[in-house]
Amino acid sequence: MISVQQKGSGLIGDSLSMVPFLAGVVEKHGEPVLVNERFAPAVKELLSEMPIHFSDQVENPAYKIDVFQAFSHTHSGHNLHMAQAYFEMTRMGAAPQLPITLPLASTPSPVPSGGIVISPLSVSDHGHNKCWFEDRWAAVIQAMRVSPPVYVLGGPGDNVDPYIEAGAIPIVGHPLTSVLSMLRECRLFISVDNGISHLAHFGGVRHHVLLYPICLNPHWVPNPGAKIIRNLPMNIEVPTVLAAVHEVLDRQ
Protein backbone atom coordinates (compact mmCIF):
# COMPACT_ATOMS: atom_id res chain seq x y z
CA MET A 1 0.00 0.00 0.00
CA ILE A 2 1.35 3.42 -0.99
CA SER A 3 1.24 6.11 1.69
CA VAL A 4 0.36 9.74 1.04
CA GLN A 5 0.61 12.48 3.63
CA GLN A 6 -1.72 15.37 2.91
CA LYS A 7 -2.05 18.73 4.55
CA GLY A 8 -5.38 20.34 3.87
CA SER A 9 -8.12 22.45 5.29
CA GLY A 10 -10.49 19.54 5.87
CA LEU A 11 -13.06 21.26 3.64
CA ILE A 12 -15.15 19.28 1.16
CA GLY A 13 -13.82 21.02 -1.95
CA ASP A 14 -10.18 20.76 -0.93
CA SER A 15 -10.53 17.07 -0.07
CA LEU A 16 -12.35 16.27 -3.33
CA SER A 17 -9.66 18.03 -5.35
CA MET A 18 -7.02 15.70 -3.88
CA VAL A 19 -8.83 12.58 -5.07
CA PRO A 20 -7.64 12.72 -8.73
CA PHE A 21 -4.04 12.71 -7.44
CA LEU A 22 -4.75 9.79 -5.10
CA ALA A 23 -6.36 7.91 -7.99
CA GLY A 24 -3.28 8.69 -10.07
CA VAL A 25 -1.03 7.19 -7.39
CA VAL A 26 -3.14 4.01 -7.42
CA GLU A 27 -2.91 3.78 -11.20
CA LYS A 28 0.83 4.41 -11.29
CA HIS A 29 1.79 1.94 -8.57
CA GLY A 30 -0.97 -0.64 -8.96
CA GLU A 31 -1.64 -0.60 -5.23
CA PRO A 32 -4.21 0.93 -2.89
CA VAL A 33 -3.29 4.23 -1.27
CA LEU A 34 -3.25 5.05 2.45
CA VAL A 35 -3.90 8.70 3.41
CA ASN A 36 -3.66 10.45 6.76
CA GLU A 37 -6.95 11.40 8.38
CA ARG A 38 -7.03 15.17 7.74
CA PHE A 39 -9.76 14.72 5.15
CA ALA A 40 -13.38 15.86 5.02
CA PRO A 41 -15.46 13.05 6.58
CA ALA A 42 -18.34 13.70 4.17
CA VAL A 43 -16.05 13.02 1.20
CA LYS A 44 -14.95 9.61 2.49
CA GLU A 45 -18.43 8.19 1.79
CA LEU A 46 -17.98 9.13 -1.86
CA LEU A 47 -14.78 7.06 -2.06
CA SER A 48 -16.17 3.73 -0.87
CA GLU A 49 -15.73 2.19 -4.32
CA MET A 50 -12.14 3.43 -4.75
CA PRO A 51 -8.98 1.81 -3.28
CA ILE A 52 -8.31 4.76 -0.97
CA HIS A 53 -7.93 4.13 2.76
CA PHE A 54 -7.33 6.33 5.78
CA SER A 55 -5.24 6.14 8.94
CA ASP A 56 -4.47 8.41 11.87
CA GLN A 57 -0.83 8.40 10.81
CA VAL A 58 1.13 7.32 7.76
CA GLU A 59 4.77 6.32 7.97
CA ASN A 60 7.38 7.04 5.33
CA PRO A 61 4.93 8.57 2.85
CA ALA A 62 5.82 8.19 -0.80
CA TYR A 63 4.18 11.55 -1.52
CA LYS A 64 3.40 14.69 0.42
CA ILE A 65 0.78 17.14 -0.82
CA ASP A 66 -0.34 20.43 0.65
CA VAL A 67 -3.38 22.44 -0.46
CA PHE A 68 -1.81 25.69 0.67
CA GLN A 69 1.33 25.08 -1.38
CA ALA A 70 -0.85 24.11 -4.35
CA PHE A 71 -2.73 27.40 -3.98
CA SER A 72 0.55 29.35 -4.07
CA HIS A 73 1.74 27.28 -7.04
CA THR A 74 -1.32 28.04 -9.15
CA HIS A 75 -1.55 31.69 -8.12
CA SER A 76 2.12 32.30 -8.92
CA GLY A 77 1.46 31.90 -12.63
CA HIS A 78 1.20 28.15 -13.21
CA ASN A 79 -2.50 28.40 -14.06
CA LEU A 80 -3.46 24.89 -13.02
CA HIS A 81 -6.60 23.50 -11.46
CA MET A 82 -5.99 22.45 -7.86
CA ALA A 83 -6.42 18.81 -8.86
CA GLN A 84 -3.71 19.19 -11.53
CA ALA A 85 -1.26 21.13 -9.36
CA TYR A 86 -0.48 18.11 -7.17
CA PHE A 87 0.74 16.13 -10.17
CA GLU A 88 3.12 18.86 -11.27
CA MET A 89 4.39 19.67 -7.77
CA THR A 90 5.22 16.03 -6.96
CA ARG A 91 6.44 15.17 -10.47
CA MET A 92 4.13 12.20 -10.28
CA GLY A 93 3.32 12.23 -13.97
CA ALA A 94 1.16 14.06 -16.45
CA ALA A 95 -1.85 15.73 -14.89
CA PRO A 96 -5.26 14.62 -16.16
CA GLN A 97 -7.05 16.82 -18.64
CA LEU A 98 -10.09 18.80 -17.55
CA PRO A 99 -12.88 18.17 -16.81
CA ILE A 100 -12.09 15.26 -14.49
CA THR A 101 -14.82 12.72 -13.69
CA LEU A 102 -14.24 10.32 -10.79
CA PRO A 103 -15.95 7.00 -9.94
CA LEU A 104 -17.71 8.44 -6.90
CA ALA A 105 -20.23 6.38 -4.95
CA SER A 106 -23.84 7.51 -5.05
CA THR A 107 -27.09 6.70 -3.27
CA PRO A 108 -30.67 7.60 -4.28
CA SER A 109 -31.59 11.27 -4.54
CA PRO A 110 -33.86 12.64 -1.80
CA VAL A 111 -36.07 14.37 -4.40
CA PRO A 112 -37.64 13.51 -7.77
CA SER A 113 -35.55 14.13 -10.88
CA GLY A 114 -35.96 17.17 -13.08
CA GLY A 115 -35.91 19.99 -10.52
CA ILE A 116 -33.63 22.99 -10.20
CA VAL A 117 -31.00 22.94 -7.44
CA ILE A 118 -29.16 25.90 -5.95
CA SER A 119 -26.19 25.88 -3.58
CA PRO A 120 -25.70 29.51 -2.48
CA LEU A 121 -23.53 29.12 0.64
CA SER A 122 -19.79 28.76 1.26
CA VAL A 123 -17.94 28.34 4.55
CA SER A 124 -14.91 30.08 3.03
CA ASP A 125 -16.80 33.25 2.11
CA HIS A 126 -15.46 36.46 3.63
CA GLY A 127 -17.66 39.51 3.29
CA HIS A 128 -19.26 38.40 0.01
CA ASN A 129 -15.99 37.74 -1.78
CA LYS A 130 -17.62 34.47 -2.95
CA CYS A 131 -21.30 34.45 -2.01
CA TRP A 132 -23.97 36.25 -3.98
CA PHE A 133 -26.66 38.32 -2.26
CA GLU A 134 -29.84 36.82 -0.79
CA ASP A 135 -32.20 39.28 -2.49
CA ARG A 136 -30.71 38.44 -5.90
CA TRP A 137 -31.00 34.72 -5.24
CA ALA A 138 -34.61 35.37 -4.24
CA ALA A 139 -35.28 37.07 -7.58
CA VAL A 140 -33.81 34.08 -9.46
CA ILE A 141 -35.82 31.60 -7.38
CA GLN A 142 -39.04 33.54 -7.94
CA ALA A 143 -38.39 33.66 -11.68
CA MET A 144 -38.03 29.86 -11.89
CA ARG A 145 -40.02 28.33 -9.04
CA VAL A 146 -43.35 27.61 -10.75
CA SER A 147 -42.19 24.52 -12.62
CA PRO A 148 -40.01 22.63 -11.95
CA PRO A 149 -39.48 23.09 -8.19
CA VAL A 150 -36.36 24.84 -6.87
CA TYR A 151 -34.38 23.13 -4.09
CA VAL A 152 -31.78 24.84 -1.89
CA LEU A 153 -28.89 22.76 -0.54
CA GLY A 154 -27.43 23.37 2.89
CA GLY A 155 -25.44 21.71 5.61
CA PRO A 156 -26.22 21.34 9.31
CA GLY A 157 -26.36 24.80 10.86
CA ASP A 158 -26.72 26.66 7.56
CA ASN A 159 -29.37 29.37 7.46
CA VAL A 160 -31.48 28.67 4.40
CA ASP A 161 -34.53 30.63 5.61
CA PRO A 162 -34.14 33.50 3.08
CA TYR A 163 -34.23 30.98 0.22
CA ILE A 164 -37.24 29.16 1.69
CA GLU A 165 -39.07 32.48 1.97
CA ALA A 166 -38.39 33.07 -1.72
CA GLY A 167 -39.98 29.74 -2.59
CA ALA A 168 -37.16 27.16 -2.51
CA ILE A 169 -37.55 23.76 -0.86
CA PRO A 170 -34.77 23.03 1.68
CA ILE A 171 -32.58 19.94 1.34
CA VAL A 172 -30.34 20.12 4.40
CA GLY A 173 -27.89 17.69 5.95
CA HIS A 174 -28.03 14.89 3.37
CA PRO A 175 -24.93 12.78 2.62
CA LEU A 176 -22.90 13.78 -0.40
CA THR A 177 -23.65 10.44 -2.02
CA SER A 178 -27.34 11.36 -2.29
CA VAL A 179 -26.56 14.99 -3.15
CA LEU A 180 -24.48 13.71 -6.08
CA SER A 181 -27.49 11.82 -7.45
CA MET A 182 -29.62 14.91 -6.95
CA LEU A 183 -27.17 17.00 -8.98
CA ARG A 184 -26.95 14.44 -11.75
CA GLU A 185 -30.72 14.07 -12.03
CA CYS A 186 -31.71 17.72 -11.76
CA ARG A 187 -32.48 19.84 -14.79
CA LEU A 188 -30.19 22.67 -13.68
CA PHE A 189 -27.69 23.33 -10.89
CA ILE A 190 -26.69 26.87 -9.87
CA SER A 191 -24.00 27.55 -7.26
CA VAL A 192 -21.22 29.69 -5.96
CA ASP A 193 -17.71 28.27 -5.58
CA ASN A 194 -18.09 25.77 -2.74
CA GLY A 195 -17.74 22.10 -1.92
CA ILE A 196 -20.85 21.22 -3.91
CA SER A 197 -19.53 22.95 -7.04
CA HIS A 198 -16.45 20.69 -6.73
CA LEU A 199 -18.76 17.69 -6.35
CA ALA A 200 -20.53 18.73 -9.56
CA HIS A 201 -17.21 18.87 -11.42
CA PHE A 202 -15.85 15.51 -10.27
CA GLY A 203 -19.30 13.91 -10.45
CA GLY A 204 -19.67 14.73 -14.15
CA VAL A 205 -22.39 17.39 -13.82
CA ARG A 206 -22.30 19.82 -16.75
CA HIS A 207 -25.78 21.43 -16.51
CA HIS A 208 -24.26 23.87 -14.03
CA VAL A 209 -24.19 27.67 -13.77
CA LEU A 210 -21.25 28.64 -11.57
CA LEU A 211 -20.80 32.07 -9.98
CA TYR A 212 -17.02 31.96 -9.76
CA PRO A 213 -15.26 34.59 -7.63
CA ILE A 214 -12.78 36.98 -9.15
CA CYS A 215 -10.64 36.72 -6.00
CA LEU A 216 -9.44 33.30 -7.26
CA ASN A 217 -7.28 32.40 -10.22
CA PRO A 218 -9.71 31.45 -13.02
CA HIS A 219 -8.00 28.04 -13.31
CA TRP A 220 -7.96 27.19 -9.59
CA VAL A 221 -11.24 25.37 -8.87
CA PRO A 222 -13.89 25.89 -11.58
CA ASN A 223 -16.11 23.18 -12.95
CA PRO A 224 -14.78 23.31 -16.53
CA GLY A 225 -18.05 21.92 -17.88
CA ALA A 226 -20.14 24.67 -16.29
CA LYS A 227 -21.39 27.96 -17.66
CA ILE A 228 -19.15 30.25 -15.59
CA ILE A 229 -19.96 33.81 -14.52
CA ARG A 230 -16.74 35.27 -13.12
CA ASN A 231 -16.98 38.62 -11.40
CA LEU A 232 -17.23 40.31 -8.03
CA PRO A 233 -20.50 39.10 -6.47
CA MET A 234 -21.69 42.72 -6.12
CA ASN A 235 -21.30 43.14 -9.89
CA ILE A 236 -23.30 40.05 -10.87
CA GLU A 237 -26.84 41.11 -11.72
CA VAL A 238 -29.97 38.95 -11.80
CA PRO A 239 -30.47 39.25 -15.61
CA THR A 240 -26.93 37.93 -16.14
CA VAL A 241 -27.65 34.83 -14.11
CA LEU A 242 -31.04 34.26 -15.74
CA ALA A 243 -29.45 34.58 -19.18
CA ALA A 244 -26.89 31.92 -18.20
CA VAL A 245 -29.69 29.72 -16.85
CA HIS A 246 -31.58 29.88 -20.15
CA GLU A 247 -28.38 29.23 -22.11
CA VAL A 248 -27.76 25.99 -20.18
CA LEU A 249 -31.40 24.93 -20.38
CA ASP A 250 -31.45 25.57 -24.13
CA ARG A 251 -28.51 23.17 -24.58
CA GLN A 252 -30.58 20.29 -23.23
168-184 per-position pLDDT tens digit: 999 999 999 999 999 99
Query: pLDDT tens digits, residue range 51-63?
Result: 999 999 899 999 9
Residues 62 and 141 in one domain: no
Q: Give, for 242, the enclosing helix (H) or strand (E).
A: helix 238-251
The whole-number pLDDT of residue 146 equals: 65
Please state the domain count of the chain: 2
Residues 230 and 188 in one domain: yes
User: Which of these three, 90, 124, 140, is where a domain ends?
Assistant: 90
Q: Using the 3D structure, point to which of 56, 90, 124 is the last residue of a domain.
A: 90
Note the Cα 101 to chain centre separation in Å.
12
* pLDDT on residue 212: 98
> Are residue 123 and residue 177 in the same domain, yes or no?
yes
Strand 2-7 relative to strand 227-231, pairing: unpaired
The answer to whether residue 210 sits within a structural domain is yes
Q: Report CA dihedral (69, 71, 75, 80) to the nearest 10 degrees.
A: 100
Identify the domain containing residue 54 by its residue range. Answer: 2-90
Residue 120: give its domain's CATH number: 3.40.50.2000
**In-domain check, residue 51:** yes
Among 48, 75, 90, which residue terminates a domain? 90
Q: For residue 109, is it within any domain?
A: no
How many CA atoms within 13 Å lie on the side-chain side of 205? 27
